[in-house]
Every structure is written in C-alpha cells, then in structure tokens.
Amino acid sequence: MTGLPPSLPIRIVFFYGGINSSLILTELFPQLKDTGINLLKVRAAIGQTGNDADVYLTKNYYTTVSGDPGEFSYTWLPLNNVTGLTVSNILANPDLKPEKTTEYELGISGHFLKNRLRLDAAYYNRQTKDQIIQADLPPETGYTSQSRNIGHIENKGIELMMDLIVLQTYDWKWELGVTFAKNKSLVKKLWDNVTEYTIVSQLGVQYIAMVGQPLGVFSIPASEKVTDENSPYYGYTVVNNSGFPIESDTQKEILGGSQPDFTMGFTTHLKYKNLSLHVAGDWRKGGYMYSGTAFFSLYTGSSTHTLFNERNPYIIPNSVKILNGEYVENNLMIRADQISYALGNPSINPEVRKGYVIPKDYFKIREIALFYTLPEKYLIRTPLTAASFSLIGRNLFLFTPKKNNYVDPEVSNFGDDILTEFGETSGGSSTRNYGLGIKLSF
C-alpha cells in the first residue's frame, strides 16, 4: 500500500526488563573479615533491551520532492505539470523486526586491607539479534536503501577495576586507579544466508560485517598474486607492462578490524596538606580506522610514507611480470616521473589504499589538574567558608604508532552508530584545553 505518511506522531512502547541479584559473602561468613577482607560481594544480572527503527519504514509512502516526510505543501498539485510528491527512495520492509539485545553479567567485588585496596571484576555476554541497519540498494531498483535486520551479533568481554591507596599519613595521601576492558565481537549470522555485507565504503576501502569475523573489518581490493604453490614466485605481486601492481577483480585483502585488543584507564591522585595533583590517562591497544586525512596526505605527497626510497626510481619489491605467458622476475623500474602515481594514486597502484587504514592505538594523558584549598585560618575574618583554586589541562599529550602521524584516533565524523568506528574524513582536529578555576563558598 502506498500513501502519505501520517501527520500525527506515533508513540511506540517497548516492554523489556531485567533481573539482578547480589550476595554479600562477608555478611554471610563474618569470619572472612578476620583474614583482611573488609567486603566481598558477588552479583549476577540478566536483562533485555529493545530498539526500533525510524517511522515510515514498513510501508512505501509518498514524500515531498524535498524528501522530508514531515514537510507538506498546501499548494494545489500538479503545478505547471510538475508533480510535487514522489515515492520515497527508501524501500519499505513489512517484515522489519525490533532489535533485541539480551545480556548476562557475572561480577565480584571486594575491599581489602582496611579498605585501602578495592577490586572489581565482571564478565558479560551480550547477544544482539535482528540488529537494524540501513542497507544500500542498486539505484536501478528504483530505490537507494532499505532498513533490514542484520542477523545475530555476539559480544563477550571482561571489565576489571582496581583502586589502591598507596600511601596515607596525616599530611600525605596517594591513590592509584586502573581499569581494564576487553571485548570480543563476532558476527554469527546475517540475513538470507548472506556471509558478507558492506557497512560503508570509502575510496575502495570497505568496512564490512562478515560471518565468523568481528563486527567491522576493513578490506581493500587485493593486488594480483602468483597462486601456483609450485611456482618459485608463489605469493609474488604481479605487475603490468608499466611495472605497477595489477588490481584483482575477485580477491580482497583483509587489513584488520576496528575493535581494540583492550583498553585501559589510569588515574593517580597525590595530596599533600591543601595541595593536590590529579592525573588521568587512557591506553587503547589494537584496532584500525580509516583516515581521510591520510588519503589526502598520500595523494598530495605530504605524507611521510611517500618518502619511500627517498622518492627515487625503484622496482616493486617481490614482484613478477608476465612474459610469453609465464612469470618472470620483474625488472620494470618505476620512473621518477611516476613516483606520485606509485605512492599516492590508488587507481594506478592498489597497494596505496593500505595507507588509508591506520592503527587506532594511542596512549593519551587526558587530564592533569592541580588544586589548592586555602586554609580556613585565612577565611576567619571574611564571609567565605571555603576557597579553592585549580589549574586544569585536558588532552595534553598524545602518543600514536609511527604509521599514524595524522590524527587523533578518537576523532570521528561518520555518525553516531557503528559508523563512528569506521574513522574520519576531513574532520576537525582534537584540541588541547587549559583552564583556571576559582571556587568560593559563602
């Protein structure tokens, strides 16, 4: 059925719930406190949440030429033989189901050594079924996209936390905090027995969901390789008559996923009398991202990676050419006037695309703050009850691998869903901030 979308808002109600329970072992077994355990608690939880797509996606409808379903015109149509309504480019999906996520969690926490050491550990298993995505369609179908359920995504992981009071005296106090998180995602099923789906593609770099792989894997068209295992050149790159690698029409090269191996957070707080120092840092290990900044840098020759062989003529390493129907070692030199093509143009050298996918690792000093509280004796003859001063710096230091000397890995401008994991393209740079604070209490 085709018609106008309703003008009144539609209210959708979801019913989902959860159960959680905890057991304080030190209350059940008081003798545990005699061993230096101040608190020991175990917990378990199970819950389910639902999510739905936008409205107007289960039936085809007409929309204004502007494409905004909520925009209507009171002009009599057609006007000068020009229609004012058109069928939406989004193909309706009457079988669209709500997205459901079911999560299980087990945890344990404890306080030890007169509450100077606090530990917490949790394991979770999150199953997301019928995840909703906007799938692209060939324009020749008359539509450009359709909302559909992606299948079954699994996430398992652990989260650890430790807080430790290293030193505590009348004048001194030093605290350390560490957090650790590791998540492993897995695409268990896609729709209609599909084994691979491209979430987004940029300049030949595809970000895909592939059955049996973590959600969000980067792939590029592979260079033609020698596939005969009996050949002395097995695995070598095949070049054309100009000495450039030949792009394969069928093979892809997997570069890695966007998910990190783990993430960690660090905090330290040092206090001496009325003066205190707070430092917070983050470490992300593993994972990749697409970088539009890297593309522009490679294409224009401003990237350090374009200094390969000091931009002198060279032969593609470990490559062969075809001579009289057979593979022979390549001796075709990339000339000096071809260096820009070889090092920056993916249409000439498909290997260039590898430079667009960069490591997402980083270590960042996220915040350094210095606080000073004025002693009360200086406020006796004033209307103030307390006064403190602070000097704060945020995003002060960033350390990344050598292959990423372009951007802050936390910068993304592709969206607010899984596309945030894809990367950045011509996004704004991150900033370093400084602040001075004064707090007065009356």
Q: DSSP 3-state assignment of 15?
A: coil
Which pLDDT score, from 0 to 100, does residue 12 have?
60
Q: Of 194, 184, 239, which is closest to residue 214 (Cα–Cα)?
A: 184
Q: Please state, in angstroms and rounded to a whole number, the distance separating the CA atoms of residues 142 and 335.
A: 47
Which pLDDT score, from 0 to 100, does residue 1 have?
42
Which pLDDT score, from 0 to 100, does residue 76 have?
59
Residues, the chain? 442
Which pLDDT score, from 0 to 100, does residue 57 have?
82
Residue 78 preceded by cis peptide, ω within 30: yes
Which pLDDT score, from 0 to 100, does residue 70 have?
46
Which pLDDT score, from 0 to 100, does residue 74 have?
54
DSSP, residue by residue, 51-108: E---SS-SS-BEEETT--TT----S-SSBTTB-SEEE-SBPP-TT---EEEEEEEEEE
| Whole-number Cα distances in Å, 393 to 12, 174, 205, 368 | 44, 20, 37, 5
Which pLDDT score, from 0 to 100, does residue 40 have?
96
Q: DSSP 3-state assignment of 325?
A: coil
Which residues 6+ apart lie within 8 Å of 7 measured at CB?
72
Which parts of the chain sit beneath pLDDT 50?
Answer: 1-8, 67-73
Which pLDDT score, from 0 to 100, does residue 13 have?
64
The alpha-carbon radius of gyration of the chain (Å, integer) is 29
Q: Please state, in angstroms and rounded to a whole number, the distance separating the CA atoms of residues 198 and 211.
A: 12
Q: Which residue has the tokens 């949790």?
A: 122
In this prediction the pTM is 0.84
The answer to whether the beta carbons of residues 87 and 62 sit under 8 Å apart is: yes
* Cβ atoms within 10 Å, residue 186: 14
